[in-house]
Amino acid sequence: MDIYLGSDHAGVLLKKKVLSHLRESGHKAIDLGVFDEVNKVDYPDIAREVGEKVLENNGSRGVLVCGTGIGMSIAANKMKGIRAACVHDVTTAEMAAKHNNANIITFGERVLGEQVARDMIDVWLKTPFEGGRHEDRLNKISNIEND
């Protein structure tokens, strides 16, 4: 599975650690930037870039890191077909896969440690979507996008 990563300046250090973790775990992880924490950028630009790649590449996923994870999730969720979950711990990451079939997770470098970030990604990637009633709810979300 291809996994696209992106961050703004406030998330770049944690994103680099997560990138190494994914590659060490054997995933194809592609870092779309940014690459330094000094030059300030606008998180919606990065969210859009990662979201577009996830939509183009069927079955791929995205990881977005900013200061809190909030801005990235708000921006990514404006894109039709993106289900971006702002996660904080292993439980929210697991449920983002199981119930929400999130194709992107977002989280914040200013509010999370590296080990939590690694554990969240691992559980999100390995947990299958349950489907059933949750599929019906996702269809209703698609209806909102289409109305």
Contact between 33 and ligand RB5 by CB under 6 A: the answer reads no
CA distance 43 to 52: 14
Is 21 marked active-site?
A: no
User: Are 7 and 50 a contacting pair, CB within 8 Å?
Assistant: no
Q: How far is the CB of 98 from ligand RB5 (least distance, A)?
A: 25
**C-beta closer to ligand RB5: residue 33 or 67:** 67
- Is 8 an interacting residue with respect to ligand RB5 (CB under 6 A)? yes
Of the pair 51, 71, the CB lying nearest ligand RB5 is at: 71
- Considering only residues 66 to 105 of the shown chain, the ones binding ligand RB5 according to CB under 6 A are 66-68, 70-71
Can you tell me the distance from the alpha carbon of 110 to that of 31, in angstroms, rounded to the nearest whole number? 20
86 counts as catalytic: no
Task: Note if the bond before 34 is cis, omega within 30 degrees.
Answer: yes
Catalytic residues: 66, 99
Contact residues for ligand RB5, defined by CB under 6 A = 8, 10, 43, 66-68, 70-71, 108
